A and B are shown apart, each in its own frame.
Chain A
């Protein structure tokens, strides 16, 4: 049986990291959250521009993203930092995390008195959680306890040929083992909705896939109504065309290769926790940060990210494994890229590259740092907005 070494959690999937997260419920608490994290090793903070002066779905998306982040299995526990008068209440965030059975502490700046008092209290609480986390050993878990996020960015001609098919092979093995995988980037799926709907486990899921993609297209049309690049033609960039991609269907098909060939079990709303084993589609646009944040909020312990042109980005506390199908990019950006699937272009089989990639993902799940972790890249945390 294929296994990895992770950290047991009171509820849900195991973690592949064991950090303490410091999460502000509102941007007014960003500096306090960052200073708490700066003072205590083993912590990461997540500053953001939202949490107040928001209403309706926009507020809901922020709440779901931050709750999903706080409940994420890679964090042993969380220090929530609030200001006190914000729209998205720190207490609501802390209660959601506590429901996952995890240790959570709350610091509210207006109740503590000032920044120095809040940072001091938060740092002492964070240090206590880090000490507790350090006593926890890694344990062996089957591959069925892994939820892998699937993402691509900086695509070139090799992505659809080598990197995405290799990742698709890995996603299929994880799903076969009883694990989960999530793909997203709904803006990139326009044109392939009928193909994805055929892969749905039932007519309800097929309908949800069609509706999710149609809704994204409507939003895209509204957003581009007054600019020169009209709606769907914006989806193929000049670089895509130079690289040999001719139609939106072709581009979409190259992208969905990374989701393998498994049936699609459901569509997840932004910030919704993965519902169980199998392959899921997450409703989010293609922005790298918003999409990876969504994958993390749904519970992906690792994100596998294919890139042809190369990108260095990462997410604090969640390994983002970079895979390229372009050997020249791998050579040029060697300290940003974890895996070269370029052998496929030279004649290596997809299964050959895929099995090597799966071994790497198991090692990363067991503690080996991804390149983005080593270099402390953390720019992918980005909450989506209406």
Chain B
């Protein structure tokens, strides 16, 4: 079964440690607990999976800190990357 790592207890995303297929169950290991979650999309090794449903503009937390905000509402189990996560800091313009 594919695995994912929730790096900090505050995080609302985890990093998948295997390539994950849509519909596959993922075991998410965290410091405090291990949970199971169904991936709703294909997610490549090293990429992020939403652990809870996120509203548009809600902070995305990884390493215990805000790394950016959701562009749109993101259901739990979805892939999070450039298409649905933005960060004011470090934009090219």
Contact = CB atoms under 8 A, between A and B. Distances in A.
Interface string A205-239: 00000000000000000000000011111011000
A191 B67 CA distance: 9
Interface string A227-253: 001111101100001011011111001
Nearest to B17: A345
Nearest to A234: B92
Contacts, number: 81
Given A244-B46, A246-B82, A195 B65 contact: yes
A9 to B, nearest CB: 38
A137 interface: no
Nearest to A190: B90
Interface in A320-361: 345, 347
Most-contacted residue by chain B among A233, A241, A244 (CB, 10 A): A244
A190 B29 CA distance: 29
A307 to B, nearest CB: 15
A248 B90 contact: yes
Given A230-B92, A232-B91, A233-B90, A246 B67 contact: yes
Contact of B15 (A157, A235, A236): A157
A253 B81 contact: no
Given A157-B15, A161-B5, A161-B7, A247 B80 contact: no
Contacts of A190: 89-90
A254 interface: yes
Contacts of B93: 230
B62 A253 contact: yes
A134 B91 CA distance: 56
Interface of A: 156-158, 160-161, 190-192, 195, 229-233, 235-236, 241, 243-244, 246-250, 253-254, 257, 345, 347
25 contacts: A156-B46, A157-B47, A158-B46, A190-B89, A191-B90, A192-B65, A195-B65, A230-B93, A233-B90, A241-B81, A241-B82, A244-B44, A244-B48, A244-B81, A246-B67, A246-B81, A246-B85, A247-B89, A248-B89, A249-B66, A249-B90, A250-B62, A250-B68, A253-B62, A347-B29
